[in-house]
Structure 1
Amino acid sequence: MKVVIVDDTHINLVLMSRLVGKLEDVETVTFQAARPALDWCNSQPWDLLIIDYMMPDMNGLELIARLEGGVHANARERPPVLMVTASMDVEVRHRALENGASDFLIKPIDKVEFLARTRNMLQLRRATVGLRAEVGKATAELRAREQETIMLLARASEYRDPETGAHILRMAHYSQLIAAELGLSEQEQEDILNAAPMHDVGKVGTPDHILLKPGRLNEEEMIVMRQHARMGYDILKGSQARMLQLAADIALTHHERYDGAGYPNGRAGEDIPLAGRIVAVADVFDALTSRRPYKAPWTMEAARRYLEENSGGHFDPRCVAALLARWDAVREIRARYQDDEQGA
């Protein structure tokens, strides 16, 4: 464990450092001024900060307030802080606790009390770090199971739909590109990448004579086909997993249109969830550039013009612009994930 000690008096630094050095598996880092200590603590990992209250350049209260966001920092994430002060002023103690101090000691330091409190705070820190590691491991395992479920369901729809193939991989990566260009967080980008393959899972409920028809569908058949959006939502909506909840929203809304002329609910504009608007662009773009039983693949440039012409009508303009802004990456994705007989 790494203990940072800050005191403007050299002898106090030596005393506290030697006392802390008696503890097992502990390394000390000392500073005789607050500002360099603050810079170090905001750039390096540490496990306990022991800090004097009265210092000339910046007092202990100010240092604590500026640690990783100051008083607004997440108390559960910040390591413990032990303030040492000669002041008996109750207001100082209250301000120290409000600014994020975990405990405080009154000078002159009692060696037994100092060691006991330091030891206890480090034990608590070890327990917190261990618990956080276990939670992270459990979360990673849960996300892995969610992703496995998603891919198994996506594979089920792929077996029934001959149009799928590498389509789900391409459109998922196109969706991630759009999310990245729109400024979504890395976690949100990953969520969309992982949930997008579920967009057509509802096709498992579409009759074969419609799903596998080599030509275009008539009006009655199209009505049945369009039910796959609602079916996909119904399959996924009951899950408590966040990823599958996102996949349910995508399944339901990726055929909605920005102008309100889509299905199944005729939602428009930003009333359509952003993930659905993103996937709508990625899905149609890849469908246009892929071979289908009823059509040859469009060229990349022809599909690009289609997106531009239908921006603000079928598609969210921001999502179209985001995909086109990453055009080189779009070409790379298309080249990487090809069907057995991918067209030009």
Structure 2
Amino acid sequence: MSDNVVPMKRTGEATPSLSPILSLTATAMNSVNQVILDRMQSEIPLIPALAGHLISGGGKRMRPMLTLAGAQVVGYQGTRHHKLAAAVEFIHTATLLHDDVVDGSETRRGKSAANIVFGNPATVLVGDFLFSRAFELMVEDGSLKVLKILSSASAVIAQGEVDQLTAQRRIETSEERYLDIVGAKTAALFAAASRIAAVVAEREDAAERALDDYGRNLGIAFQLVDDAIDYDTGTADMGKDRGDDFREGKMTLPVILAYARGDEEERRFWQDAIAGFRIDDADFAHAVALIRRHDCISATRERARHFAQRACDALSIFPDGAARRAMVEAAQFAVSRGY
């Protein structure tokens, strides 16, 4: 075991990439993808068609990758985590399907969202189907502890989404509440996906806590950067409509900071925009200009960097090696990415 702090970034290093963690988990991910393909099937043709529309549409597979990488960092040699990683991806996919219905999203991962192609009722119901498949996989694993971790995470995610809904179009939303929402709707599944690797490996509580801390802090960093990208016109396309958060009246950190730092006229604009009265393209362009004026993208990424460093530090109890280095670089990538 090592008790050193794990450095997240060193001068002169190449731009962080997901390549190390992709390479690390490639063989196991093939098994996970086969489970996903098998378990999304149904005698009702609409179910695999709709599920496949999203699942086959790309995405980083970050959450199941954390389960696979976590298993390597704790030295697990078995295969139980393959089905559990698939369960994690089903939970995530189900939440995306439900989110797109709630938000009225038109695109997802660069193509029409499932709710646009198949309609809201079918999208919600197939999301429910994927949740059910996830729980079947957990039960098949047979670990009550794993079941508790993933089922608790599912409940927390739902609560976070409801909390975000109640905060929508409320200009008074604080940074503290925003981080609470992010911790629930995004970071909870990152944490659970990471932690279960230590559970199936029957490692000590300290290893569980370390992987939980890694995933939770990485998840917060990941969401902070997502929220920055929505207002950063200098980044690559995210695969969704830029400005969605703005038009939906979501109080994300760039907006919270711009509102706090703005003068009276700017604050009136934000009040009208978040209330839903200033949502056309010119209004979004003005919002981006205000966020740039007050350096809110950099400030949001700096906060993300803080959480990513905490994620890296959590790994310090594990020996140095390819798995730990890949997980550290994944945290670096989460902060530096433009998509």
Normalised by the length of structure 1, the TM-score is 0.31
- Structure with bigger helix share is 2
Normalised by the length of structure 2, the TM-score is 0.32
Q: Return the index of the structure with the highest Cα Rg.
A: 1
